[in-house]
Structure 1
Amino acid sequence: MIQTESGWVCSCPVVCCKHAHVIEISKRMREAVQEEVPKTIIKQVDLTKYKRCKSPNVVKQGIRRLKRGPVQGYKCKDCNKRFTHNLGFEKKHVAPEQITQAVDLLFSGLSSRKVAKSLEMTGFKISCKTVQNWGKEYAEIMERFADTIKPQVGEAWRTDELYLKIKGNRKYLFAMLDSETRF
């Protein structure tokens, strides 16, 4: 591949070379990612305000003793509501550690029945349907979050092509990998 004034040129006998297309695509992708990187910032959660009435008049009020352990309680002075901060695990009656362990095992390739069985061995009885529901719920949350992340990429990319046959039609699959970050 040689870069000229008119673009990339390859020594292939084919007039419209696939190698040149891969380089052009990777350049456009790299430029798009580098434009988006400064815009991607994870928002910090403000724990000093009650999320329903947005009041900053929040005070600590007692500790709730649950099966999963003690949880700090809070009270909003404006609307007199009591609440706890359980970010990402609101309205769940199970410890966040157990939910994350179940979701991690599920995403590692175990079936929901095997995940439920392994959690039962640790003393936590849960149905396989609950594990499936958690997997679906947290997969949607992670998908929304992952779509906002733009990786830092370098200047050098490695490409590979793969010939596939889909329903009898030959297709190309181009795989690209950043040399530095392996993204």
Structure 2
Amino acid sequence: MDCPHCQSSSTREREGRTVHGFRRFRCRECGRRFNERTGSALNRVQVPTDIVFLVVLWRLRYKLSLRDLAEMFLIRGIVFTHEAVRDWEAKLAPLLAAGLRKRRDGKAGRCWHVDETYLKIAGEWCYLYRAIDRDSNLVDVYLSENRDMAAAKAFLRSAKSVTQVEPEQVTTDGHT
């Protein structure tokens, strides 16, 4: 494993493991000690990685409150605060979103159905543009203050760049 501090590949594995079972290393170049988790988004997190990902998944998927999640795991004997949940979400949500976008790359169909909805977000009215393909797979979403040609073109550019797919047909409100 390369050293996260000096990027040297001259490292040596140390005996034993951390409390959470991670292998420990020492760099021969800079002399610093580190483990498998050092330098990652979960560095210094005292809870096992699978628990952290489960908490963030439940928070994003089911919109549970921070305190409810902390209480649910407290009942199971895993102790952390609601503030820890907020920190984990802030660190991991962008990484999960990037991973999902990468998985979506090139997977969208060539026939898109586009619609816009006027909704209120954080007290401000705005337009949410959405596109799905023929198989009901989400192509992309885009939030705009305006409903005009510039916003529509920006949304289509964004959808093309995210999916790396040029649509053959775009249907809006029943019109091709």
TM-score range, shorter chain: 0.5 to 0.7
- Give the superposed CA RMSD: 2.9
* 1:131 shift after superposition: 1.4
1:84 pairs with 10, 31, 35, which one? 35
How many residues align? The count is 129
Identity %: 19
* 1:176 shift after superposition: 2.3
CA distance in 2 between counterparts of 1:158 and 1:101 reads: 33
* 1:155 shift after superposition: 1.7
Structure whose alpha-carbon radius of gyration is higher? 1
Gaps of 5+ in 1: 1-47
Conserved 8 A contact 1:73-1:83: yes
Alignment-derived partner of residue 126 in structure 1: 80
Consecutive aligned runs of 4 or more in structure 1 exceeding 4 Å deviation: 171-174
Which of the pair has the greater relative contact order for Cα pairs under 8 Å at 6+ separation? Answer: 1
* 1:177 shift after superposition: 1.0
C-alpha deviations, 1:15-56, integer Å up to 9, x for none?
Answer: xxxxxxxxxxxxxxxxxxxxxxxxxxxxxxxxx311211111
* 1:120 shift after superposition: 0.6
Conserved 8 A contact 1:75-1:83: yes
- TM-score by length of structure 2 reads 0.61
Q: 1:133 to 1:124 in 2, by over 3 A?
A: same
Conserved 8 A contact 1:57-1:78: yes
Alignment-derived partner of residue 16 in structure 2: 63
- TM-score by length of structure 1 reads 0.59
SS at match of 2:25: strand
CA distance in 1 between counterparts of 2:128 and 2:57 reads: 30
2:68 pairs with 114, 132, 148, which one? 114
The letter of the residue matching 1:120 is L
Q: State how 1:146-161 maps to structure 2 within 5 Å.
A: 149=102, 151-152=105-106, 153-160=108-115
